[in-house]
Amino acid sequence: MEFETVIGLEVHAQLLTDTKIFCGCSTKFGGAPNSHTCPVCLGLPGVLPVLNKKVVEFAMKMSLATNCVINKSCSFARKNYFYPDLPKGYQISQFAYPLSEHGYIFLDVDGAQKKIGLTRIHMEEDAGKLMHDEHNPVSYVDLNRAGVPLIEIVSEPDMRSPSEAADYLKRLHEILVYLEICDGNMEEGSFRCDANVSIRPMGQKEYGTRAELKNMNSFRNVQRALEYEIKRQQYLVECGGKVVQETRLWDDASGVSISMRSKEEAHDYRYFPDPDLVPILVDDAWVEKIRRELPELPLAKRERFIKDYQIPEYDAGVLTADKALSQYYEEVVKLCGKPKQASNWVMGDVLRFLNEDKRDIRKCPITAVALADMISLIEAGKISGKMAKDIIPDMYKTGLSPQKIIEEKGLVQITDEGELIKTLTAIIESNPGQVADYRGGKEKLFGFFVGQAMKATQGKANPQLVNDLLKKMLAG
Ligand SMILES: [Zn+2]
């Protein structure tokens, strides 16, 4: 039987506000356990939450960037459940009245644009963190994360393959980072994703029973976990079994998912409006103010790069996938005025060095100024492309300017005609046989003379000048 896969994703993104959503505690990652807490985020009796306006504005930015309609009025609800990392016994979230709804983004699927719907974006608070002691039968609770603001971005079940799901996540991640409202760090959990997966026979309209997958902390893991889950469900159905509604935990090390619990329904949480928080009213003026603050988004930047810099779509895609990289590239272009050359060097050598070191472009030892200088030196004929290839690893290792490295290595290209003529004359005189053959019609021998000239000058001769001079001199 042929099956179709149906995937919907729920993304939780931690917002980069300085303070928590309902109190003034710091949101900084990595403090001593429970050092960023107060009576509000500890859930002590008698306290009242006060909403952080920045959280609403950040959530509005993401809503506008993903074409959501921002509701004129929205409100918070209590999601009730018991767990030791949730001191109040409920999480303040949004339920019936979310901040925004009905958004969409586009994905490139097989060369065509595919629209993926966003059901809603809502605000909520994060829970604390449990740490389990390997050697003692105890667990510790760290509430530094309790009350850190999150947005949950819920997609429609519009994705049909693990690779579409991974693409969708990358697009969302890109937008959040471009907006500077989330650092996107998946390992530290500031960008997390749960997936709802089901299969159905090809052509069937109704959705199959879905399983929810959790604990996938990289794009690669999301794809692997989804592939595994789809195979598991197909196998189950083909063997006459049934998919049950449940939450499954992905285990990266063993490459399998494990059933965690039967999936709860929304009504299990006994949602009700939070009586401590008034509804949030959003008027048009506020929306417009936020809209004006939006930076250029990845898609728009990609199109601008293609148009303004005349670089291929592929280059523009790579260069804009990371905001910092796109800024680095633009800086290089601004300084050297050579967009395609800049793109080749950034995407080639620079990205290769960075990938090998797993280093971020922000920590690249080759500054935009140094790279632009190097490109300008090639353009001015001071060094050849080949010489540049030789010095760029040193630029990366030492962080020195290309001029400095050229000087230290004595690498300046020979562009002095008189000096080159002397070298070429010597080569011609010591190879009379080849000269005669060349003049007799064996034009392929031209390369031999170029090779000799480069060897004699240790690769420092300006290749164009060598070509021009040799042509004249060999013509006899
Ligand atoms: Zn607090």
Do 202 and 334 fall within a single domain? no
Strands 272-273, 77-80: pairing kind: antiparallel
Do 217 and 89 fall within a single domain? yes
Mapping DSSP onto H, E and C, the string for 59-87 reads: HHHHHHHCCCEECCEECCEEEECCCCCCC
Over residues 167-212, the pLDDT tens digits come to 999 999 999 999 999 999 888 889 999 999 999 989 889 999 999 9
Token duo for residue 296: 């250029």
92 alpha carbon – ligand 1 mean position (Å): 14
Residue 272 is inside which H or E element, if any? strand 272-273
Q: Quick one: pLDDT at residue 29?
A: 87
Do 29 and 165 fall within a single domain? yes
* Residue position matching structure tokens 């601004």: 334
Q: Determine the Cα–Cα distance for residues 457 and 443; give it in Å rounded to an integer.
A: 23
120 alpha carbon – ligand 1 mean position (Å): 27
Q: Determine the Cα–Cα distance for residues 136 and 133; give it in Å rounded to an integer.
A: 5
Over 90: is that where the pLDDT of 103 sits? yes
46 alpha carbon – ligand 1 mean position (Å): 14
Q: Which residue has the higher pLDDT, 243 or 282?
A: 282
- Asked if 122 and 99 touch (Cβ cutoff 8 Å), the reply is yes
Strand order in the sheet with 77-80: 90-93, 77-80, 272-273
Token duo for residue 171: 């697009």
Give the contacts of 466 (CB within 8 A, at least 6 positions apart): 420, 424, 450, 453, 454
Question: Strand, coil or helix: what is 192?
Answer: strand
31 alpha carbon – ligand 1 mean position (Å): 14
Do 366 and 247 fall within a single domain? no
Averaged confidence pLDDT in the chain: 91
Q: How far does Cα 110 stand from its chain's mean position? A: 21
Burial status of residue 201 (CB atoms within 10 A of its CB: 0-12, 13-18, 19 or more): exposed
381 φ/ψ sector (left φ>0, alpha ψ -120 to 50, else beta) = left
Q: Quick one: pLDDT at residue 264?
A: 67
149 alpha carbon – ligand 1 mean position (Å): 12
Do 385 and 439 fall within a single domain? no
151 alpha carbon – ligand 1 mean position (Å): 18
Q: Determine the Cα–Cα distance for residues 360 and 358; give it in Å rounded to an integer.
A: 7
- Asked if 452 and 427 touch (Cβ cutoff 8 Å), the reply is yes
Last residue of a domain, one of 361, 391, 409: 409
444 alpha carbon – ligand 1 mean position (Å): 78
343 alpha carbon – ligand 1 mean position (Å): 46
145 alpha carbon – ligand 1 mean position (Å): 10
96 alpha carbon – ligand 1 mean position (Å): 26
Q: Quick one: pLDDT at residue 218?
A: 87
* Residue position matching structure tokens 């809603």: 120
Over residues 8-59, the pLDDT tens digits come to 999 999 999 999 999 999 999 889 999 999 999 999 999 999 999 999 999 9
Q: Say which CATH number the domain at 451 has.
A: 1.10.10.410
Over residues 207-257, the pLDDT tens digits come to 999 999 987 888 889 999 999 999 999 998 888 888 888 899 998 888 888
70 alpha carbon – ligand 1 mean position (Å): 28
22 alpha carbon – ligand 1 mean position (Å): 7
29 alpha carbon – ligand 1 mean position (Å): 14
Strands 149-155, 139-142: pairing kind: unpaired
Q: Quick one: pLDDT at residue 356?
A: 93
69 alpha carbon – ligand 1 mean position (Å): 31
First vs last C-alpha separation in the chain: 78
Q: Determine the Cα–Cα distance for residues 260 and 239; give it in Å rounded to an integer.
A: 22
Do 421 and 372 fall within a single domain? no
Last residue of a domain, one of 409, 425, 441: 409
**pTM of the complete model:** 0.81
Do 93 and 217 fall within a single domain? yes
Q: Determine the Cα–Cα distance for residues 188 and 129; give it in Å rounded to an integer.
A: 12
Q: Determine the Cα–Cα distance for residues 460 and 440; give it in Å rounded to an integer.
A: 30
Do 383 and 435 fall within a single domain? no
Q: Quick one: pLDDT at residue 263?
A: 63
Give the contacts of 404 (CB within 8 A, at least 6 positions apart): none
Domain that holds residue 462: 417-474
41 alpha carbon – ligand 1 mean position (Å): 4
56 alpha carbon – ligand 1 mean position (Å): 18
Q: Determine the Cα–Cα distance for residues 261 and 144; give it in Å rounded to an integer.
A: 27
Q: Which residue has the higher pLDDT, 412 or 130?
A: 130
62 alpha carbon – ligand 1 mean position (Å): 25
39 alpha carbon – ligand 1 mean position (Å): 6
191 alpha carbon – ligand 1 mean position (Å): 22
Do 284 and 302 fall within a single domain? no
80 alpha carbon – ligand 1 mean position (Å): 20
Last residue of a domain, one of 368, 385, 409: 409
437 alpha carbon – ligand 1 mean position (Å): 87
412 alpha carbon – ligand 1 mean position (Å): 62
181 alpha carbon – ligand 1 mean position (Å): 20
At 266, the pLDDT band (50, 70, 90 cuts) reads low
Do 424 and 395 fall within a single domain? no
Do 257 and 388 fall within a single domain? no
What total of structural domains would you count in the chain?
3
Do 302 and 256 fall within a single domain? no
Most confident of 167-171, 185-189, 386-390, 441-445: 167-171
Q: Determine the Cα–Cα distance for residues 349 and 374; give it in Å rounded to an integer.
A: 13
Over residues 147-163, the pLDDT tens digits come to 999 999 999 999 999 99
